[in-house]
Amino acid sequence: MYCANCGAELKDEQIHFCPNCGKPVGVTASGPPQAGAAPAVAEKPRKGMRLWVKILIGIVVAIAAIIAFAVIATAPLVDPIQAHLALLREGKVAEAWEATSGQFKGSTSQADFERFVAANPKITQIKSHSFANKSWENDLGEVRGTLTADDGSSIPVFYRLIREQGEWRILSISFNPADQQQ
């Protein structure tokens, strides 16, 4: 007996599917396919995706969505910090002080801020930053990370921010914040 689809010899009379092409063995040919006749291309039965693979894909997609949401939700916290660092890099210390929150300006005079910048000159030479921890609750935000100066030195930094009139503003800046709560 031979498979009607691909012409493979079927040795067992009780076989229900062709071991070569996988097609059901209902109709059989009386002999092997004739010479020169091309056998039909056999399609293997398509199996569905296993349940555990679907669950794994679902978990990966959910985790990616949570991470994307966290990044998008905390991105506005970094914007005022970047603007502040850009002003300091341009030497616009008075404008950088003015860009801080009302509470910052109430507790730190412009002259005190200018002395802070003079005592920490690398803050005017920041070429990049990495903020690994960003969080906010209600109208208070926290950003932790590292500032990298032109000379390659790294400065651990901790910013507190407050939302004033719908905009995030710097409330405090701490360098080497080892004593700050993690």
Residue 140: domain span: 74-179
Query: Is residue 57 included in any domain, yes or no?
Result: no
From the CB of residue 144, how many other CB atoms can be counted at a distance below 10 Å? 18
Distance between CA atoms of residues 1 and 28, nearest Å: 7
Query: Is residue 64 included in any domain, yes or no?
Result: no
Q: Are 173 and 122 in contact (CB under 8 A)?
A: no
Low-confidence winner among 9-18, 43-52, 83-92, 146-155 (lowest mean pLDDT): 43-52
How does pLDDT run across 45-56, given as a tens digit for each residue? 556 778 888 899
Q: Are residues 148 and 90 in the same domain?
A: yes
Residue 124 confidence (pLDDT): 93
Mean pLDDT across the chain = 82
From the CB of residue 142, how many other CB atoms can be counted at a distance below 10 Å? 19
Q: Are residues 80 and 170 in the same domain?
A: yes
CATH number, position 165: 3.10.450.100
Residue 181 confidence (pLDDT): 45
Query: Is residue 69 included in any domain, yes or no?
Result: no
Distance between CA atoms of residues 37 and 23, nearest Å: 19
Q: Are residues 96 and 38 in the same domain?
A: no
Query: Is residue 68 included in any domain, yes or no?
Result: no
Q: Are 81 and 155 in contact (CB under 8 A)?
A: no
Alpha-carbon separation of residue 134 from 35, 130, 140, 148, 167 (angstroms): 73, 11, 11, 18, 16
Q: Are residues 36 and 120 in the same domain?
A: no
Q: Are residues 36 and 90 in the same domain?
A: no
Query: Is residue 150 included in any domain, yes or no?
Result: yes
Query: Is residue 108 included in any domain, yes or no?
Result: yes
Query: Is residue 9 included in any domain, yes or no?
Result: yes
Position 69 pLDDT exceeds 80 = no
Residue 6 confidence (pLDDT): 82
Instruction: Tell me if the pTM is above 0.95.
Output: no
Q: Are residues 92 and 17 in the same domain?
A: no
Q: Are residues 30 and 95 in the same domain?
A: no
What are the helix (H) ranges across the chain? 51-89, 93-98, 102-107, 110-119
Q: Are 126 and 106 in contact (CB under 8 A)?
A: no
* CA nearest neighbour of 3 among 29, 37, 38: 29
Structure token digits, residue 51: 């349940």
From the CB of residue 19, how many other CB atoms can be counted at a distance below 10 Å? 13
Q: Are residues 37 and 80 in the same domain?
A: no
Q: Are 51 and 60 in contact (CB under 8 A)?
A: no
Q: Are residues 92 and 174 in the same domain?
A: yes
Query: Is residue 84 included in any domain, yes or no?
Result: yes
Q: Are residues 111 and 170 in the same domain?
A: yes
Q: Looking at the 3D structure of the chain, how many domains does it have? A: 2
Q: Are residues 165 and 89 in the same domain?
A: yes
Q: Are residues 122 and 162 in the same domain?
A: yes
